[in-house]
Chain A
Amino acid sequence: MSARVMVAVAAALACAALAGCGERPQSEATYKQGKYQGKPDTRPWDNAPLAYGNNKWTKGDKRSWEDELKGRTLNQNENTRIGQ
């Protein structure tokens, strides 16, 4: 009886150890050398500004988005913020 239990426990342990060897496939693509094969990305200015917040740019207009971001970038310069 105890031998059967031992065998059952050993089998269970073996199954548990074997389960660790399982690996999910991480790749879903076929590759071509030297060329980006991924999904095409959208551009940031193709989004509308958030409903909340102070961002203002025209959806799809790269220049207005750049101006918006430039203002935000310049806001990092505290030398120009002192005294405002």
Chain B
Amino acid sequence: MARMKFLCDAERCIECNGCVTACKNENEVPWGVNRRRVVTINDGVIGAEKSISVACMHCSDAPCMAVCPVDCFYRTEDGVVLHDKDLCIGCGYCFYACPFGAPQFPQAGAFGLRGKMDKCTFCSGGPEPDGSEAEFKKYGRNRLAEGKLPACAEMCSTKALLGGDGDVIADIYRQRVTVRGKGSEVWGWGTAYGPPQAKPAAGSKS
């Protein structure tokens, strides 16, 4: 197997935020922390509005791992970037290093101090025993250990967000692109009703 990756198809994403809700629900993410969010550009411009769902991209050469002063990050055999919250000091360096803004910091303490970092785990928990209550409380659900894919990708209604083995989802995306063509065919009349039919001959019954 290659590496676990997310792939979001901007032509399909309809900004429904179903992935965000699925993530929040599945992992019981605290208030103020968004492991996944939907970013929209050209908002309101007809034909130019694009949305994309963003979370931790589980980088092959992750900058968060490089800058962490306490080295709390590790990468699993499936290429998922995880971290140990028992080591994290909540310094925020990983947030500055990450190009996607994936690391999130819950408020902790009486004055809302920055807590330990929280981020997308590709629904694969953390270093606590798989499926344990401790793992769920710290990192959320471990779906990979249950033979499932991340909830956000599996919940996506338009299948804009794909998750899984990078090679497999790349194949799915490649096939999709070759089938759907480009331009208005992506989302318009042709997709909904098929190509224009030949007009019936004059005098024939319709």
Contact = CB atoms under 8 A, between A and B. Distances in A.
B82 interface: yes
A39 B149 contact: no
Interface in A39-84: 39-44, 46-47, 49-50, 53, 55, 57, 65-66, 68-70, 72-74, 76-79
B10 interface: no
B168 A35 contact: no
Contact of A76 (B130, B146, B172): B172
B71 A35 contact: yes
Contacts of B176: 77, 79
User: Interface size for chain A: under 10, 10 to 19, 20 to 34, or 35 or more residues?
Assistant: 35 or more
A14 interface: no
Contact of B124 (A21, A31, A44): A44
A39 B84 contact: yes
Nearest to B78: A44
B164 to A, nearest CB: 3
Interface in B142-190: 142, 144-149, 153-154, 159, 162-165, 168-169, 172, 175-176, 179
B90 A38 contact: no
Given A43-B77, A76-B153, A69 B108 contact: no
Interface stretch (B21-29, B94-102, B110-118, B194-202): B110-118
The secondary-structure label for the interface of chain A is loop
A41 B147 contact: no
A44 B130 contact: yes
A9 B120 CA distance: 47
Given A38-B127, A41-B82, A27 B148 contact: no
A23 B109 contact: yes
Contacts of B116: 26
Interface of A: 19-24, 26-29, 31-44, 46-47, 49-50, 53, 55, 57, 65-66, 68-70, 72-74, 76-79
Interface of B: 1, 69-74, 76-78, 82-84, 86-90, 108-111, 113, 115-116, 124, 126-131, 142, 144-149, 153-154, 159, 162-165, 168-169, 172, 175-176, 179
Given A41-B126, A42-B145, 17 more contacts: A26-B88, A26-B89, A27-B86, A29-B87, A36-B72, A38-B87, A42-B130, A43-B76, A44-B145, A47-B131, A47-B146, A49-B147, A50-B146, A70-B165, A72-B149, A76-B172, A79-B172
